[in-house]
Amino acid sequence: MTAGGPPLSVSLTVLGLRDLDVDAEILTYGLNSAADKNIIESDFIHFLPSPKERRFVYSPHFNKWLEMSPPYDIYHCQGVWQYPSFALARFARKLNKPYVVTPRGMLYPQIFKNNPFAKKFLWHVFLKKDIQKASCIHVTCVEEMQHLRAKGIRSPMAVISNPVDVESFLQIQIEEKDNKFRVGYLGRIDSRKNIDRLIYAWMELGDLVQNGELLIMGAGDAAHHEFLKEEVRRLGLKNVVFTGFLSGERKTDAISSLSYLVVPSDFENFGMIVAEALMHRVPVIASTGTPWGELISHECGWWIKNDTASIKTALLSSLSVPEKRRKEMGVNGQNLVIQNYSRDVIAKKVKLLYEWLIGEAKKPDFVYTD
């Protein structure tokens, strides 16, 4: 259980469930290297030897551990496409126990374009059956549910967002920003993230941002990273900075320094960086490829089409926002996350889902059966 993303949200959810007296446990593989570090250490996390086969992460230890352990009331698969989820779903069906599948955004249409033959083969051979026979599918936004319905999946679906460790963020001392207009992208450097559109929109602002700064924060696809840098050089932009991968205090300081965060991705099933920025009281400009329409309803940002013209228009609007109003937007965003995405709020929903699946509660209003 290392790094952020799914490992972090699973850890937070399980910690929240245990606070609610749910005896939730985690079964996962151990660390890949000495440089890795577990998010949490506890006796309710069961580590198996890290598998040598990395593509589908097959290991005989996984099924053996399930066979030797007392049966659980509910099994919950995190992610798809790899052996642990397949084995867990199959094992739950063998015991006639309810199981939940959380795809983690791994069944979006764009995912099937990556290695399409293998994806279609695996989908039709076993994955679609695992999904169809699941007691419930847990998705993090309505858009993810709609994509699955379009693929013919009829299982009940629970829309529950990822949890955010708000307590950790509230302990961070947010420094007063300097007067520089600073916009940032933070995340994986990848062509589907549309970072180039942000760069082109920044270029079109011209003299309006000559004293500003655009931060591109993250690592990933080395070739695309170099392409973006070359575009910056070609356009003659002197106020675009590539920071590389950031973590810890450097990441916190970088986010806190922003006037606005921009998320121009084609799709995100949740977009944890949006929640992180809002907890730092940084308003966000996010594309409609993310499930963050609340940025508008809670007055803490913009929810726009993910094209260069729309990004430019939003940046122009942000330039005209008075500093007092920008700070108010930041507070609005932080309150949005605390009230809707904190660990305890999400854990209560997951507990209610589990209780419904074992017949101890009525169907929650966030579960959709059609």
Q: Do domains 6-163+343-368 and 175-340 have the same CATH topology?
A: yes
Provide the CATH topology of domain 6-163+343-368. Rossmann fold (3.40.50)
Rounded distance between C-alpha atoms, residue 128 and residue 133, angstroms: 9
Instruction: Report yes or no: 199 and 228 within 8 Å, Cβ to Cβ.
Output: yes
Domains of the chain by residue range: 6-163+343-368, 175-340
Task: Tokens for 368, please give them.
Answer: 């959709």
Predicted TM-score of the model (pTM): 0.85
Residue 134, phi-psi category: left (phi > 0), alpha (psi -120 to 50), beta (remainder): beta
Output Rg (C-alpha) for the chain, integer angstroms. 22
Rounded distance between C-alpha atoms, residue 102 and residue 153, angstroms: 14
pLDDT per residue as tens, the chain (370 positions): 344 567 888 999 999 999 999 999 999 987 665 445 666 677 889 988 888 777 788 888 899 999 999 999 999 999 999 899 999 999 999 999 999 999 998 888 888 887 788 888 888 888 999 999 999 999 999 999 999 999 999 999 999 999 998 988 888 877 777 789 999 999 999 998 999 999 999 999 999 999 999 999 999 999 999 999 999 999 999 999 999 999 888 999 999 999 999 999 988 878 889 999 999 999 999 999 888 999 999 999 999 998 999 999 999 999 999 999 999 999 999 999 999 999 999 999 999 999 999 999 999 999 999 8
Q: 175-340 architecture in CATH? A: 3-Layer(aba) Sandwich (3.40)
Rounded distance between C-alpha atoms, residue 31 and residue 185, angstroms: 29
